[in-house]
Amino acid sequence: MPLIRADAIVLDGQVCRPGWLEIAGARIAACGSGAPPGQPDRDFLDCLVVPGFIDMHVHGGGGNSYLEAEQIAGAALFHRRHGTTTTLASLVTAAPDELIAGVRALADATRFGVVAGIHLEGPWLSVARCGAHDPAQLRDPEPAEVDDVLAAGDGTIRMVTLAPERPGSSEAIRRFVDAGVVVALGHTDATYERTQQAIALGARVGTHLFNAMRPLHHREPGPALALLESPDVTVELIPDGVHLHPAAVHAVVRAVGPDRVAVITDAIAAAGREDGSYQLGAVQVDVAAGVARVHATSTIAGSTATMDQLFRTVSRLGPDADAALAAAVQMTSTTPARALGLREVGALQVGYDANLVVLDRELRVTAVMAQGAWR
């Protein structure tokens, strides 16, 4: 059984200096702080080992899109190199036939272990808050389409983002919850009260908080405050310096705690590539200085970020270095795993999948292990 030692390891939420892991097949067989019980097979000096990142909202990367069947593996491989060992592949709004085809392709990829499941971001979103989604294809969640999508996914759809103010949304929320799908609220112009109602029906995630939703106002708090107030809701944040001001990120984490914040990339195919023109579904996206926007507009269209980049950002939130590292692990691994109902991932502890990332002193990826194999 391979034995790994590192100068620092985050084990089950605690920073151990040094620490060790023993791997048996695809699982963690033993772990602990201090000196390892034998001669290590890999000794990572001056390095930090953390759980593999879990990205619960990502559309592509490395020039590849999860919208294209032949590009799914390439997108997953690109993000794995940046430490993402568990991916929830996101689909944007599309016509009914295209949506079903995309779901079926990703369902196959899920069964082969390329991704961990599907996130449907649309088509049941607000026209007023559509962001980079094609407004011509936005529609109400009709029961027949909801059933068709669930049938095409055959148990692989893990999360759906919808706007709770659209007619039929209450019934859709109930249907998805009954099917074991996590319901997220986003791309929404809902009022504070309507958002509360959706949460009462079982919605449990706020999709990229503040972005593409009615802004907070002192007389109409809107969806953001309702999502933050509910202890049952996990909120997604994109701390890339574009979607949110750093002070907003810090304020949210301080207010609700890292156990309710899931860091996401919302990355598109342009992640890891040069500036230029890209497609996000039916929408043309222009990337300049690493910022993606809908063609000829100022509307942000996803990101070009990777999870290791965002880990570096959130690991600096706080004066206590070890506490900040533990919180960063929580937000990039443990919290998204819990929000999605994923078991045996999201932490380094006995019996969990051997998914880990080795980071150097600058918190840059030097090695990645997924299910016990170095990738």
Which residues are part of the catalytic machinery? 266
- Residue 302 marked ligand-binding: yes
* 126 contacts 187 by C-beta, under 8 angstroms: yes
- Greatest Cα pair distance, the chain, in angstroms, is 63
- Residue 72 marked ligand-binding: no
Nearest to 145 by CA among 116, 118, 176: 176
User: Three-state DSSP class for 296?
Assistant: coil
Q: Give backbone dihedrals phi and psi of 86, rounded to 5 degrees, phi first.
A: -135, 120
How far is the C-alpha of 287 from the C-alpha of 304, rounded, in Å?
9
- Residue 301 marked ligand-binding: yes
- Residue 194 marked ligand-binding: no
Q: Which residues pair with 303 in a beta bridge?
A: 267
Name the token pair of 130: 């559509």
- Residue 95 marked ligand-binding: no
**How far, in Å, are 210, 224, 370 from residue 238 at the CA level?**
10, 15, 24
- Residue 190 marked ligand-binding: no
- Residue 243 marked ligand-binding: yes
- Residue 212 marked ligand-binding: yes
- Residue 222 marked ligand-binding: no
Question: In terms of C-beta density within 10 A (0-12 exposed, 13-18 middle, 19 or more buried), how is residue 46 classed?
Answer: exposed
* 89 contacts 265 by C-beta, under 8 angstroms: no
Name the token pair of 235: 């909120």
> Which residues are known binding-site members for substrate?
132, 211-212, 219, 243, 300-302
Instruction: Mark the binding-site residues for Zn(2+), compressed into ranges.
Output: 121, 187, 208
Binding-site residues from annotation: 121, 132, 187, 208, 211-212, 219, 243, 300-302
